Amino acid sequence: MSKKKNQFSNPPANQPATPAHQQLAANDLSSSELAPPQSKIARYVSFGLLLGVIGLVGFVFFEVMLSFMIPLFLAAILVVIFRPLHRWFLEKCGGRERLSAGLTTVAVLLAVLVPICVLLLMAVVEGRDVVQQFNAAKVEDGIRTIRSNFNLDIPASRQMGDIETRLRDLQQTVVLDDQEVDRHRSSLFEIEESAKILGVEIGREWPADVPQPRSSGDPSEDRSQADPDQQNLLADSENENKTATDVLDKDPAAADGEQVAPTVDPNDHWLQFCLTLDRTRKLHFTSTFARTPSEPEEDSRRRQEQIREYRNLINETAGHFSDFKAQLLGGKTRAWLAELVNPTDQEFETYAATAINYLRQKLLTLGGGAFAFLGNTIVGFAIMIIGLYFFLLDGPGMIITW
């Protein structure tokens, strides 16, 4: 049977190939070309697995041996340093290498390792006491020390902070309704009172006479239609207008203007701040910002212009105060540093609470990891001591063998 099969699959050379033989040969050729070599694929897979296993073993070996490298390196350094002591012990012990190596190891422990352990223990205890005693009073004392050492104290810091906060709040107002108008009135009054206290602290007086625009109508009519606060302001404005009239008599060239502007040094930011704040208050008290029912178009346009002018004056007042503060504290950089070390009461409480919580969390984290650190330290010391002993005992032999 096999003979017939072979004859069928491989016809004699002297006989022509039948169609069946040609078809079988074509199928064998196509299958041999399309099928991948199984032996090569298996070889590649085996090589890849081998590389992966070698890399994994090498990584694990490195991680394990890493904990031994530093103790063994320190042991080798100690052997080199204390080699003369080991030779002395070896001479005194009559050449007994084990005994001399043990005595040298004990001497190294007493001379080097024990003092280091004591210092580390003292540092841990002191650090724990510092963290436990850390509180808001300590933070405040530290900030006060920094301020005094670098001369970063802010005069009347409470009033200055109050002025900045209120001006920032006024700048952020979007809609000027009746409630906001009343709040602005109170804020402007508080800003002026704080500014007067600040002026006393820095030795600058609040300008008493600030020339203002003269009223186009009858002052008595304006006063009769105003509330008591506005009446007082209008009365002050009349007195100031009398002063302005005297100035106009002396300077006819100023008669064409609506306002007599005083001569102000552009570098005197304190005076510019005071004058602008006074103009802002007067404009607020003499203007109508809230919309009224059935408001004529002309009144609405006038009201919008007054609101626009009022906002510009607030921004101008805040800008002059910022320039005055930078000028008072010695520049913008020193002003920024002074603000950093002169926090408000609320900012100080926030900073202190954040610092205390951070330190407490770190203390708990260190306490949780202290046992692991202590265990690793003990293992490292044990490895170093054992390595030190055997290096002293047979160090030259190890080098020769290597």
Whether residues 89 and 177 share a domain: the answer is: no
Whether residues 197 and 278 share a domain: the answer is: yes
Q: Is 365 left (phi over 0), alpha (psi -120 to 50) or beta?
A: alpha
Domain boundary among 313, 340, 367: 340
Residue 179 lies in a domain: yes
Predicted local distance difference test score (pLDDT) of residue 6: 47
DSSP string, 312-360: HHHHHHHHHHHHHHHHHHTSHHHHHHHHHTS--HHHHHHHHHHHHHHHH
Report the first-to-last Cα separation within the chain, whole angstroms. Answer: 70
Whether residues 190 and 302 share a domain: the answer is: yes
Residue 236: name the closest of 270, 257, 206 by CA.
Answer: 206
Residue 307: name the closest of 288, 286, 281, 279 by CA.
Answer: 288
Predicted local distance difference test score (pLDDT) of residue 360: 67
Whether residues 291 and 347 share a domain: the answer is: no
Query: Residue 140 belongs to what domain range?
Result: 71-152+343-402
Question: pLDDT truncated to tens, each residue of the chain (402 aa)?
Answer: 444 444 444 555 555 555 555 555 555 544 444 445 567 787 888 888 888 888 888 888 877 777 788 888 888 888 888 888 888 998 888 888 889 889 999 998 888 878 888 887 887 777 777 666 666 677 777 778 888 788 888 888 888 888 998 999 998 887 777 788 888 989 999 999 999 998 888 888 888 654 444 433 343 444 344 445 545 544 554 454 444 344 334 444 444 444 444 566 777 889 899 999 999 998 888 877 767 777 788 878 888 888 889 999 999 999 999 999 998 888 888 888 888 888 777 777 787 778 777 766 766 565 555 667 777 778 888 888 888 888 888 876 666 665
Whether residues 371 and 285 share a domain: the answer is: no
Cα angle value 140/142/147 (rounded, 5°): 95
Whether residues 171 and 310 share a domain: the answer is: yes
Whether residues 401 and 270 share a domain: the answer is: no
What total number of domains does the chain contain? 2
CA distance 389 to 75: 9
Predicted local distance difference test score (pLDDT) of residue 135: 64
Whether residues 195 and 326 share a domain: the answer is: yes
For the whole model, what pTM was predicted?
0.48
Whether residues 125 and 266 share a domain: the answer is: no
Residue 365 lies in a domain: yes
Predicted local distance difference test score (pLDDT) of residue 258: 46
Residue 23 lies in a domain: no
CA distance 266 to 199: 18
Predicted local distance difference test score (pLDDT) of residue 178: 78
Burial (CB < 10 A; 0-12, 13-18, 19+), residue 100, is buried
Whether residues 85 and 106 share a domain: the answer is: yes
Is the distance from CB of 303 to CB of 294 less than 8 angstroms?
no
CA distance 300 to 11: 115
